[in-house]
Amino acid sequence: MTWQLFQIIGSIAAIGSGGGPAVAGGWAALVVAVGVGVLLMTPSVVAATSGTRSED
């Protein structure tokens, strides 16, 4: 999750830079970072990484 936070910060800086390709790349990176961050918080991932998953 830390990496996604760094990507969000970097992408916001790129969007604020005002350059055409940098702004487009910043938006793309922001969408990917937010998407992965949301997916990391799904119940199945949280259960798998926290050790609270039930034994099958």
Considering just the CA atoms, what is the radius of gyration of the chain in Å?
A: 15
* Res. 54 pLDDT band, cuts 50 70 90: low
> pLDDT category, 47, cuts 50, 70, 90?
confident
pLDDT for 53: 61
* pLDDT surpassing 60 at residue 25: yes
- How many Å apart are CA 54 and CA 20, to the nearest integer? 49
Has residue 10 got a pLDDT over 80? yes
User: Model-level pTM?
Assistant: 0.77
Q: Helices marked H in the chain — which ranges? A: 2-16, 20-40, 43-50
